[in-house]
Structure 1
Amino acid sequence: MSRIVYVNGEYLPESEAKVSVFDRGFLMADGVYEVTSVLGGKLVDFDGHTARLRRSLSELDMASPASDEDLLAIHRELVARNGIEDGMVYLQVTRGAPSERDFAYPDASVPPTLVLFTQAKPGLADSPLAKTGMKVISIPDQRWARRDIKTVQLLYPSMGKMMAKAAGADDAWMVEDGAITEGTSNNAYIVKGQTIVTRDLGNHILSGITRAAVLRFAQEAQMKVEERPFTLDEALAADEAFITSATTFVMPVVRIDGRDLGTGKPGPVATRLREIYIEESRKAAV
């Protein structure tokens, strides 16, 4: 059965979904996106994702295509129509499709483009990788400076994923001025002793919705958290490491640049935080 997607007010079979060749998301990467996880047919951290979407739109002076209430209704309708139990809903907003290509923004008469689709990921919370841990490599961070805006400019992160794949790893951590910023599609953490260290917020990293929840759960569990830059050498000397994202939740990292961390197996802090996050997310999902 064809997947049903949403395009500018219509629910359509994916084979019938179309946007203009003049859409600025296609021509200029002039768009933002969000990915909301689905567990047990319910949306995880939906309010956090809509709040970040509003911020991204505001930072780019882009019009909002719908209210939060409407977006929630669209998400739920897509989950229902596609029978998603575990998976994700992808949302993208672009500045729309003017009649001609131009570097200057179009005026307000051009409506934004709104597209959503689902992806089924059965057993999302039971990933085998969580039991073995991830391997990552380090690469230079060569992205633009406004990484705090969740734009569709994902070419370099895609290149980083391919660099990792070529090296036999699962992902890449990006390094700038000697410090790790984040993974290609996730926030990065190390654990030394009983202290969790992750990069502080700013223009250099994305303010992860899962990141915020995990740090809150860590502090509620009486774990010490430091938000500051950390170096690659610190990461290599860490007792354990992990990443967070909407689709991986908390995922242990056991090797960096071919060197094992700690025991070379998922550590207790990452393992416990993953358990807490999944349990609490199931309770709060809408």
Structure 2
Amino acid sequence: MSRIVYVNGDYLPEEEAKVSVFDRGFLMADGVYEVTSVLGGKLIDFDGHAARLARSLAELDMAQPISHEDLLAAHRELVARNGIEEGLVYLQITRGNPGDRDFVFPDPETTPGTVVMFTQSKPGLAASPAAKTGIKVISIPDQRWARRDIKTVQLLYPSMGKMAALAAGADDAWFVEDGKVTEGTSNNAYIVKDGKIITRERSSDILHGITRAAVLRYAAEAQMEIEERRFTLEEAQAADEAFVTSATAFVMPVVEIDGVKVGAGTPGPVAGRLREIYLEESLKSAI
């Protein structure tokens, strides 16, 4: 049985889902996206993702083609129709199909955006084996555009980073700019030193992670010390712990950076506790 996907208000078997070859998302990567995790058949941090979606659209001067209420209803409908217990809902909104290729933005009144959603089933998402062993990362130069705070579909360089990591026998890559770590290919980056959690401050340099915001809030509530600042690769290698956060990795320990073990080379207590807290609190507030 094929998946049911959402295209501009219609629920279709994935084989029947189609988008125009003239869609600006296809031609120019002119679009934004969000990924919302599903645990126990419920959506994790949906309101946060919806708010960031609205911000991304506004930053690109794109119209909001679907209301918050309809967006939530569509997410729930896809989860139900596809029987997703653990997994995710992928949402993409592009500037649409103006009828021909042009660098000039089309009028949103005459060219409504294209909205696509689909699910991916990922059994065992919360109990990921990698959370127990930790992951290894390499560092690569950050050569992305300067507006990383907008969650666009321009993901070629992050994909290249992940491929470089796999070729080096690692799991992921951290971007480095001006000697400082910005973030991972699809996650926010952190180190822990003397019990203090250190992560880069929010700016246009990094994605304003929804999981990041929740984890830092839970850490503050647990009276953990937090410092939002830039850190070097050398600081990260000399840290007691390191970890990343994202909507599907939650809190994932990093045990090696460019071949150098972080701390004891095993997942540390801070990352482990934050993962426990995040999953516990997120399940309580899931919708």
Same fold (TM over 0.5): yes
In 2: Cα distance, 1:264 partner to 1:99 partner? 54
Matching of residues 9-20 of structure 1 within 5 Å: 9-20=9-20
Moved over 2 A (4+): none
Alpha-carbon offset, residue 251 of structure 1: 0.3
In 1: Cα distance, 2:213 partner to 2:171 partner? 23
What code does the residue aligned with 2:159 have? S
Residue 254 (structure 1) aligned with residue 255 (structure 2): yes
In 1: Cα distance, 2:174 partner to 2:124 partner? 26
Aligned residue for 1:60? 60
In 1: Cα distance, 2:105 partner to 2:282 partner? 39
Aligned residue for 2:137? 136
SS at match of 1:84: coil
In 2: Cα distance, 1:206 partner to 1:261 partner? 24
When the two structures are superposed, what TM-score results if normalisation uses the length of structure 2? 0.99
Aligned residue for 2:106? 106
Alpha-carbon offset, residue 110 of structure 1: 0.5
Q: Deviations over 1:235-260 (max 9, x none)?
A: 01000000000000000000000111
- Taking only the aligned residue pairs, the percentage that are identical comes to 78
Residue 281 (structure 1) aligned with residue 276 (structure 2): no
Q: Deviations over 1:192-217 (max 9, x none)?
A: 01100000000000000000000000
Q: Deviations over 1:147-182 (max 9, x none)?
A: 000000000000000000000000000000000000
Q: Deviations over 1:29-70 (max 9, x none)?
A: 000000000000000000000000000000000011111000
What code does the residue aligned with 1:11 have? Y
Aligned residue for 1:263? 264
SS at match of 1:144: coil
In 1: Cα distance, 2:263 partner to 2:112 partner? 52
Aligned residue for 1:171? 172
In 2: Cα distance, 1:163 partner to 1:149 partner? 24
In 2: Cα distance, 1:157 partner to 1:95 partner? 22
Q: Deviations over 1:129-154 (max 9, x none)?
A: 00000000000000000000000000
Matching of residues 122-271 of structure 1 within 5 Å: 122-271=123-272
What code does the residue aligned with 2:40 have? G
In 1: Cα distance, 2:229 partner to 2:68 partner? 32
Residue 28 (structure 1) aligned with residue 28 (structure 2): yes
Aligned residue for 1:72? 72
What code does the residue aligned with 1:67 have? S
Unmatched runs of 5 consecutive residues or more in structure 2: none
SS at match of 1:125: coil
The count of aligned residue pairs is 286
What code does the residue aligned with 1:271 have? G
Alpha-carbon offset, residue 275 of structure 1: 0.3
In 1: Cα distance, 2:37 partner to 2:103 partner? 34
In 1: Cα distance, 2:107 partner to 2:86 partner? 40
Unmatched runs of 5 consecutive residues or more in structure 1: none
Alpha-carbon offset, residue 107 of structure 1: 1.1
SS at match of 2:126: helix
In 2: Cα distance, 1:242 partner to 1:68 partner? 32
In 1: Cα distance, 2:197 partner to 2:7 partner? 41
